[in-house]
Structure formats: C-alpha cells, structure tokens
C-alpha cells in the first residue's frame, strides 16, 4: 500500500492548485505528471522552467527541479539548463501571453536553435492571471476588458510559427482530451531537440468564447486519420486550419539538438562537476595590444 502511494505521488507536491474549478490547467498538469511517469523519469532528473501566469503557478504542484522565470523569459532559462546539464530532461511551461506575447522573440530563436526541451503552451486565448485581458492568441473581434470594442489584430498561431521557424516537432493538444495529451507529451519529451506542444486550454473564468463545448465542436485527432506527420508543408496546412482544429503531432522530422553541435562542450557531466581547464590566451591578448 505504502509503495503504491509512493509511486502515485512521485511527481506530487503537498500543495493544492489554486486554479479555478474546471480550468484546463488541471488536466495539463495531470497529463504532464502521467507522461513523466510513463517515461519512467525520476523527479531529480527533470527540470521544469515556468513562466508567469496561471499556468506558471504549476511550479508549486510538480515535484521536480523547478525554476519560476520572468514573464516571457522561461525559454532561455530552459536552454541554459540543458546546456550546462545535458543529462536532465528539460520542460518549459508557460501561457500563450507569456510565450507568444512577451516571449515571442525567444520562442522563434529557441525553435530555430533546436534547443533540446519540450515547450508546453497553455493556450487559453486570454490573460488569465491578470483577470482577462486580450492575449496574442485571442480571436479577432474578441471583447475583453482591455479591448471593449473587440480585438483588431489577427491571432498568433504557435504551431504555424514553429513550423515556419524550422521546428522539428510540432504538436497540439487539448485540455479536454487528457489521455491523448499524455501520449502527445510522451512523444514530445522523447523527441531530441525542441518540441512544441501547444495545448488548447479553456479559461472558464475569463474566456466565454473558447469553451470546452466550442473546442469539442472543432477538434479532431490527427492519429485517427491517414495523416503522416513527416511533411512540413502538409503540417503547415494542418496548423492553419481554422474551421476545424487538428490535435496531435503535426510534424516530426530529423533533429540534432543544439547542445550536440557546440564545439568544446563536454556533455559527459554537468558543468558544475567539470574542472576548469586553463587555456593560454596570450596570443589573443597580444593581437589587441
């Protein structure tokens, strides 16, 4: 009995989530813990970097190493963690505002660098934590307290951006399809290099447009069709669909993660355990004297 509890609680903390009842964050949280279990990872071998927002509050609810970064800055922290300790599984969790608003530059550069981490976006099309302002993913015309006459811009499409930036693993999930999300996360975490899992997530308090019912009317699973996720252009067509919303792996291709290409980086052990090797830099210094 004690053993069963121990196993079930491997990624559990003693903190209870403060998310609103019914929030999609719950199912993403449970799917992530289930995926880590399925991959038989140990908490001490996983680092999760969080952004700011309701999604970022997950920092308190998963028992792994964690870092709660600044708004929009979680990805570069995750990249650095992987570089200095390549033996760790690195996951970055953030909101759509965090990653596609403040952090959009980091997002594109992290994708094109193919940094070896799994990026989970809680894509609720609104700012949750700051009580319902427009997010970069909000639908055109969506009325919020910061846009009382409706959003004027086109929404940002995370999957299409990742594909355009050369991403080698691009997937979408839906918080209302938890077991499907577990499988998608397992594949994403296994993929070497940058993996995007853009999770469509209802915010039951501040988004009365993109509800569970709204998503259930539109989503379909790529794995249930003949779709093979090996063609970038076809994946782009899938990512751009708007009347219906495909979930699952849109694209997976050959991938060499960034840290494996860095000349001189010793990946056999963490940087902290490496001895500094003295180097003679006198020729460089002399060049500038």
Ligand X SMILES: Cc1ncc(C[n+]2csc(CCOP(=O)(O)OP(=O)(O)O)c2C)c(N)n1
From the list ligand X, ligand SF4, none, partner contacted by residue 96 (C-beta under 5 to 8 A by kind):
ligand X
Token pair, residue 29, equals 């949280």
Question: What's the closest the beta carbon of residue 103 comes to ligand X, in angstroms?
Answer: 9
From the list ligand SF4, ligand X, none, partner contacted by residue 98 (C-beta under 5 to 8 A by kind):
ligand X
From the list ligand SF4, ligand X, none, partner contacted by residue 267 (C-beta under 5 to 8 A by kind):
none
Q: Which residues bind ligand X (CB under 6 A)?
A: 52-55, 71-72, 95-98, 102, 122, 124, 127-130, 135
Question: Helix/strand/coil (H, E, C) string of 221-277?
Answer: EHHHCCCCCCCHHHHHHHHHCCCCEEEEEEEECCCCCHHHHCCCCCCCCCHHHCCCC
From the list ligand X, ligand SF4, none, partner contacted by residue 52 (C-beta under 5 to 8 A by kind):
ligand X
Give DSSP secondary structure letters for 1-51: -HHHHHHHTTT--SPPP-SPTT-THHHHHHHHHHHHHHTT--GGGEEEEE-
Residue nearest to ligand X (CB): 95
Question: What's the closest the beta carbon of residue 121 comes to ligand X, in angstroms?
Answer: 9
**Which residue, 208 or 231, has its beta carbon nearer to ligand SF4?**
208
Collect all residues with Cβ–Cβ distance below 8 Å to 150 and sequence separation of at least 6.
Answer: 140, 141, 142, 143
**Which residue, 44 or 153, has its beta carbon nearer to ligand X?**
153
**What's the Cα-to-Cα distance from 92 to each of 32, 144, 267, rounded to whole Å?**
11, 28, 21
**Which residue, 146 or 230, has its beta carbon nearer to ligand X?**
146
| 207 in Cβ contact with 126 (< 8 Å) | yes
Question: What's the closest the beta carbon of residue 264 comes to ligand X, in angstroms?
Answer: 34
Provide the angle, in degrees to the nearest 10, between the axes of the packed helices 178-190 and 25-38.
50
Q: Which residues bind ligand SF4 (CB under 6 A)?
A: 19-20, 23, 25, 54, 124, 128, 203-206
Task: Give the residue from 263, 266, 284, 285 showing the smallest Cα distance to 275.
Answer: 266
Q: What is the distance between the alpha carbons of residues 55 and 67, in angstroms, rounded to a whole number?
A: 13
Question: What's the closest the beta carbon of residue 113 comes to ligand X, in angstroms?
Answer: 22
> How many other β-carbons are positioned within 10 Å of the β-carbon of residue 1?
5
Question: What's the closest the beta carbon of residue 188 comes to ligand X, in angstroms?
Answer: 19
Question: What's the closest the beta carbon of residue 218 comes to ligand SF4, in angstroms?
Answer: 20
From the list ligand SF4, ligand X, none, partner contacted by residue 205 (C-beta under 5 to 8 A by kind):
ligand SF4
Helix (H) or strand (E) holding 76: helix 74-84
From the list ligand X, ligand SF4, none, partner contacted by residue 204 (C-beta under 5 to 8 A by kind):
ligand SF4
Question: What's the closest the beta carbon of residue 71 comes to ligand SF4, in angstroms?
Answer: 15
Q: What is the distance between the alpha carbons of residues 269 and 288, in angstroms, rounded to a whole number?
A: 34
Helix (H) or strand (E) holding 170: strand 169-174
**Which residue, 19 or 50, has its beta carbon nearer to ligand SF4?**
19
From the list ligand SF4, ligand X, none, partner contacted by residue 20 (C-beta under 5 to 8 A by kind):
ligand SF4
């Amino acid at each position: 009995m004690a053993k069963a509890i121990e196993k079930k609680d491997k990624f559990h903390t003693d903190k209870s989530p403060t998310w609103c009842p019914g929030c999609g964050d719950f199912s993403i949280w449970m799917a992530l813990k289930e995926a880590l279990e399925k991959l038989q990872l140990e908490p001490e071998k996983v680092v999760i970097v969080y952004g700011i927002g309701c999604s970022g509050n997950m920092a308190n609810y998963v028992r792994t190493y964690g870092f709660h970064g600044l708004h929009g800055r979680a990805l570069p922290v995750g990249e650095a963690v992987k570089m200095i300790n390549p033996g760790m599984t690195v996951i970055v969790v953030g909101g759509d505002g965090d990653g596609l608003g403040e952090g959009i530059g980091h997002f594109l550069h992290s994708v094109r660098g193919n940094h070896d981490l799994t990026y989970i976006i809680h894509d609720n099309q609104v700012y949750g934590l700051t009580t319902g302002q427009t997010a970069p993913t909000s639908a055109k015309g969506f009325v919020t307290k910061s846009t009382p006459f409706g959003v004027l811009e086109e929404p940002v499409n995370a999957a299409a951006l990742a594909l355009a930036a050369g991403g080698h693993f691009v997937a979408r999930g839906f918080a209302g399809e938890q077991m499907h999300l577990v499988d998608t996360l397992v594949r994403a975490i296994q993929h070497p290099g940058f993996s995007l899992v853009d999770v469509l997530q209802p915010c039951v308090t501040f988004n009365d447009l993109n509800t569970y019912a709204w998503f259930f009317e539109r989503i379909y699973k790529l794995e249930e069709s003949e779709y093979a996720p090996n063609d970038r252009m076809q994946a782009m067509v899938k990512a751009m669909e708007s009347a219906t919303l495909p979930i699952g792996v849109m694209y997976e291709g050959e991938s060499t993660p960034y840290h494996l290409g860095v000349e001189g980086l010793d990946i056999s052990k963490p940087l902290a355990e490496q001895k500094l090797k003295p180097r003679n830099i006198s020729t460089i210094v002399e060049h500038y004297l």
